[in-house]
Structure 1
Amino acid sequence: PRQERCFRALCCKGPPPPRPEYDVVCIGLTGAGKTSLLSRLCSEGSDGIGPTTGFSIKAVPFPNAILNVKELGGADNIKKYWSRYYQGSQGVVFVLDSASSDEDLEAARNELHSALQHPQLCTLPFLILANHQDKPAARAPNQVTYAMLINSILCPSKRN
């Protein structure tokens, strides 16, 4: 009888309502931490993570939605193909290494500005994630904002 009550309770509730799904593209230079970020969001281990060759797709579950994240490798020989994977994206996650060299930060800034101006991405929501904040050389958020010239591209009327 107890098992019957449990079964009846389960079968009569029906399936849970579907969560909306959103397609997001995740970009950034090699070593910025894109794969580690997604592994962490998916509660996977981060041991043995290496550079992404090509791209990978992960479904990242949240209580109210699922993000289908297409992570694009950041190596120079892969970056030139990023735009081929932009179609259908509904948002962008740009990951940068906040502890990187000035030269690498400049390269990241150039890639960010290209993405912000790309016809398939320019109207989409962007999340810019300054990763590696736990490293001693990490720049503070206001330093990253300044280094990436974010205000000048997002708010052209506020240029100094």
Structure 2
Amino acid sequence: HMDMRIQSFLLFSWQCFKALCCKGPPPPRPEYDLVCIGLTGSGKTSLLSQLCSESQENIVSTTGFSIKAVPFQNAVLNVKELGGADTIRKYWSRYYQGSQGVIFVLDSASSEDDLETARNELHSALQHPQLCTLPFLILANHQDKPAARSVQEVC
């Protein structure tokens, strides 16, 4: 009679232990590869640093490219950020392959000339064979600046 109680207790203990401690690793979250483009100073690096909960201090412009894994509850976005200097933009298309979406960041408080350049780069990306069928997020950044254009003005 005592052995059955011990066995029941051990079985119960084992089930509790398994339930609390042996769940194993969580199932992998789906991953999506995105490309993030925009002119220098538009805020690409700051945006990705904010999404990754990294420090906003001492951010410098990206030369070349960087890749950040941006974790969300249900997915991970592997974002390839491409530098926005005019000497780098001509190479953007070399990094488009495999992208599943595009984040285009523009400075809504930039000069008319820079806004026109951003418009041309956006149109070029929208027409690129590797991007033209992908979802685009167009982020009008720097809305906190006094010279920021409204969404309607940016459109």
TM class by shorter-chain length?
0.7 to 0.9
Equivalent in 56, 61, 72 of residue 51 of structure 1: 61
Between the two proteins, the alignment pairs up a number of residues equal to 142
Is there any run of 5+ residues in structure 2 with no aligned partner, and where? Answer: 1-13
Rounded Cα–Cα distance in structure 2 between residues aligned with 1:102 and 1:9? 61
Q: Does 1:71 align with 2:81?
A: yes
TM-score (norm 2): 0.88
Query: Does the residue aligned with 1:13 lie in a helix, a strand or coil?
Result: coil
State the structure with more CA Rg: 2
Q: Does 1:104 align with 2:114?
A: yes
> 1:70-118 deviations in whole A, cap 9, x for unaligned?
0000001110110000000000000000000000000000000000000
Is there any run of 5+ residues in structure 1 with no aligned partner, and where? Answer: 146-160
Q: Once the two structures are aligned, what percentage of the paired residues are identical? A: 82
- Aligned counterpart, 1:28: 38
Rounded Cα–Cα distance in structure 2 between residues aligned with 1:23 and 1:135? 31
Rounded Cα–Cα distance in structure 1 between residues aligned with 2:39 and 2:138? 13
TM-score (norm 1): 0.85
> 1:114-149 deviations in whole A, cap 9, x for unaligned?
00000000000000000000000000001101xxxx
- Aligned counterpart, 1:126: 136
Q: CA deviation at 1:14?
A: 1.6
CA RMSD across the alignment: 1.4
